[in-house]
Structure formats: C-alpha cells, structure tokens
A and B are shown apart, each in its own frame.
Chain A
Amino acid sequence: MNTAGEAVIRVKDLVKNYGGRRILDGISLDIYEGETLVVMGGSGCGKSTFLRHLIGSLRPDSGEVWMFGKNIAEASEEAMEGIRKKFGMLFQSGALFDSMTVGENVALPLREHAKLDESIVRIIVKMKLELVGLRGFENLMPSQLSGGMKKRVGLARAIVMDPKIVFYDEPTAGLDPVMTGVVDKLTMDLTKKLQITSVVVTHDMNSVFRIADRIVMLHQGRIVEIGTPAQIRNSKNPLIQQFITGEAEGPISFVQTSDNYLDHLTTETA
C-alpha cells in the first residue's frame, strides 16, 4: 500500500455535462504518489471523460484538477508543457499516428522534447518496445498491426519519456490472457521499481485485483465507493458485487423493464 505518499493529483468536485446530460457529477479524489489507482465502472459511465480531465484535454464545467501542485485549468501553456512531459497517456484506441512507423511513433516525444543523439533515441525506442514485447517491429506501419499490438505500441510511447504518472485507458482490452499478464506486470514493475503513479481504467476484474492499490468505482457520474482491493471485494454494496461477479441482473441495469420496452418499440420516435 502506498497511500502514504503525497497527492500528485487532486480532483475537486469535478462536473462535466455533454449536451445537457451530466456525465461527471461532482467527483473529488486524491491520487497519491507511487500508487496504482484503478477506475472501474460500466461502459459509457464517463471513465475516459474523467481521464481526459486529468490530462487537461477537456476543461471541467466546474471543479478543479490539480497536478503536481498546479491547477491545470489555469496553467499557462508553458507550465502545461512542463506538466505534460511528466505524464504519459495510453489512449483507449492506441491513437498511433498513422503516417509514422511504430519506431517513429514511439520516438516522437523524445525527438520533440529531449535533445538526444539519434543513436540514443533509437536505443531507447528499442528498450521501450522490448518492454511491451514488440522489439523488431519498429519499421511496421500502424495499419499493419493488430488492435492489441497497437495498444502496446501506444503504451511504449506513453512511457518513452520516463513519466512520473501514466494514465491507461483500458490497457488490456483486446489482449490475450498472456499479454494481459505481461502488461499488468509492466504496470506493476513501473509502479514498484520506478515509483510511477498509475491511473488505470479497466474492465478486466483479474487485472483489477492484480494491480490495484486502490480501486474507485464510478456510477452515474459519481464515486460509489473507493478503497483497497480487499475492501472492495468485501463491499456490501450490491452495485460493486454485481460488477465483480458480472451478473446481468442487479442495480446496474441494462435491460429495460418489459412494459417500458414495449412502449418504446411501438411509439414512433424520430
């Protein structure tokens, strides 16, 4: 457990609406240095949106996000640039640059921000690709990779600048069980050996309990519960139990009640 460290990210009463729909509804949360925080929640509940606020690519409607002691909504572009160098983000779709090879993708942050010798850049790129099990794929184009491989390249790119915080948006979705294990181990290694703070969005229950120091569960834009894996596993909250066991019936409802459904089918709506 690593919750004794300092808070590197503080989220205060974060609210976000999309077209009148409230996606994030007052989220407050501290994330401590060196911990792995897992964010869980049903599909479409706003996990990616939450991450986007943490990295400053979305502005909150109200509330604040502080990272490394700076309010990122008010930070100047120069200050933001300094902050961005200290974190990496793995996007849900990988977000590799189509027009560049795998190697160029991973090298881009280095080439832009670190004045390094080209030979050193190449070595670092090889090392990071090795970490995600893709050494030797430098010269392929993203279109030649499978979905899971793209994710792993995205991960290599996210950690290429040796960041202090890494955000992962579903790092293991679409990976086979072995590769899932590899990525989980990588996350744990980074955290334990290099004191990196990780914020991981994932649906994969095996991963969650393997890597998490703390787990936060989102539902309808709010934090339902936050705690250690043991606390979450033993939680009495039916929402959480349903999520862990993966039952279709329960408080997280995807199935509309039948009369409502019939109404919906028979009324004309454009």
Chain B
Amino acid sequence: MFLETLGKSTLEFFRQMQAMGSLLVRTVYWAVAGPFKQKPVSRRGFFAQTVFSGLHSLAIVFFVDFFIGVVLAMQSAYQLEQMGATMYVAALVGVSMTREIGPVLTSLVIAGRVGAAITAELSTMKVTEQIEALETISLDPVRYLVVPRFLALLIMLPCLVILGDVIGIFGGYVVGVTQLGLSSGLYIDTTLEFLTVKDILTGLLKSAVFSVIITMIACHEGLSTEGGAEGVGRATTKSVVSSFILIILADALLTSFFYFAKT
C-alpha cells in the first residue's frame, strides 16, 4: 500500500520532469529560432515581464536580504566571539551571502512572488479558453507567453541576486560596525579579501538555474490546469511548493558539485 503510493508519486514526479523538460526544449527553441522564422519574442511582453519580475521585486528582495545579512552577522558573531575571531564575521557573511543564502533565498522569494503570479495568470487563461483562442490564431502559447517570461526572469533573477547580495553584505556591515566594534574600513577590507570572483559566479550560475526551475514549473502548471477557479488555486499552490522543493534540491546538487569539483 505504502510502496504503491510511493511508486505512483515517483512515476508522477518523473512524468512531470519529462513534461517540463519538453517545455524547456520548446522554450529554448522559440527563444533561439523564433527571430529567424520571422516570429521573434514579443518585445512588449518581454519588457512588461522584466518590469514585473525584476523592478517590482526589488523592495521585497532588499527587505529579505538585508535582514538575512543582519541575522547572519549576529549569528556568526555569537560563535566567532568565543574564539576571539570577530573580524571574520565579514568574511563569513560575504561568502555565504554570495554563494548560498543570497541566491537561494532570493529565488525562493521570487518563486513565491513571480512564479505564483505566472501560474495564476496562465491557468486563468487556460480555463477561460484564452490559450485555445491563441492557438486558433496560430500563436504558439510557448512562444507568445512562456518565452518572454522565461527570458525576463533568466536575466532579472541574477540581477536581483547580485543586488540582494550587496544589500545582505550591507546588513552584515551595519551589525559589524555598530554592534561588534569593527571599523568600517576593516570590515570592507576583510569582505573583499575573502570574497572571490568564483563565489559570485557560483551564486549567479545557481540563480540562473533557479530561474529556469521557477518559470518552467510555473508555466507548465499554468498551461496544464483543468477545472475552473478551483483548478487555478490548486495549480498556483502546486507551482510554488514544487518550485521550493526543486530549488532546494538543485541547490544541494549544485553545492555538492562545486564542493567536490574543488577538491
């Protein structure tokens, strides 16, 4: 009984992954081949999505990352103080913010904000026959709806992550300078000394992968919705939950990959 359920949900999981894989293939196809077939991405749609997923997410990303930086600094100070190594707070905040916390947390926030919005919009279009209407005027929903969202988030999420990293480090800096008695110059120097380009690139690569996860799940859930307003609600919840799980999974995979690749 238990095994049966487990087997079924594993099968379901792989079926979902397969569906998302083929959606990704179609998305990349249209993004790359579209312009050559006289069917480029709608510039207006792309612009609107950039504004929505990027610009309008700034406030919440800043808010979350700033306070995470603050908490991170205080938490590590609590440990490092005992060894008399308080100055390393800067290094710790800087590296974990750029490599790990920044990309993951920002992506989770964006999955909740942008991913949910995408699924809600597309699934509403699905249940009100709008997707079908697009198809009858020969507009491929993947090209017309998915690609602009995909590209917008692929560009905007890494940007948000970079800005979030900066704000998070600034949060740590505020704690370091006002509470831990570190001098401003020392804090900045330590941060820069320990932070490498590779850390930042690692974070960016992660965030690019997470953006693909978010849009693919959101669009797949949206376009395969059935059954009215209730279906819209179900799809939206499922989209956010699946994104969270897959982001965490992908993060674990990528982190271990980078860790073992190093040694």
Chain A contact residues, CB within 8 Å of chain B: 52, 55, 57, 80-81, 84-85, 87-89, 91-93, 95-99, 108-109, 112-113, 161
Contacts and interface: CB of A to CB of B under 8 A. Distances in A.
A22 B103 CA distance: 51
B82 interface: no
Contacts of A87: 136
B128 A112 contact: no
Contacts of B134: 97
Interface of B: 121, 124-125, 128-130, 132-139
B138 A97 contact: no
B106 to A, nearest CB: 26
A156 B135 CA distance: 17
A84 B129 CA distance: 17
Given A98-B124, A98-B125, A84 B137 contact: yes
Contacts of B138: 80-81, 84-85, 112-113
B158 to A, nearest CB: 26
A97 B136 contact: no
Contacts, number: 45
Given A80-B138, A95-B133, 8 more contacts: A57-B136, A84-B137, A85-B138, A97-B125, A98-B125, A98-B130, A99-B121, A109-B137
B44 to A, nearest CB: 10
Contact of B137 (A52, A93, A99, A112): A112
Contacts of A113: 137-138
Candidate in B121, B130, B137, B139 with the most chain A CB atoms within 10 angstroms:
B137
Contacts of B128: 93, 95, 98
B209 to A, nearest CB: 29
Contacts of B137: 84, 108-109, 112-113, 161
Nearest to B130: A95
Candidate in B130, B136, B139 with the most chain A CB atoms within 10 angstroms:
B136
A95 to B, nearest CB: 4
B225 to A, nearest CB: 15
Nearest to B38: A115
14 contacts: A55-B136, A57-B135, A84-B138, A89-B133, A95-B132, A97-B134, A98-B128, A98-B130, A99-B121, A108-B137, A112-B137, A112-B139, A113-B137, A161-B137
A58 to B, nearest CB: 9
B47 to A, nearest CB: 13
A81 B128 CA distance: 23
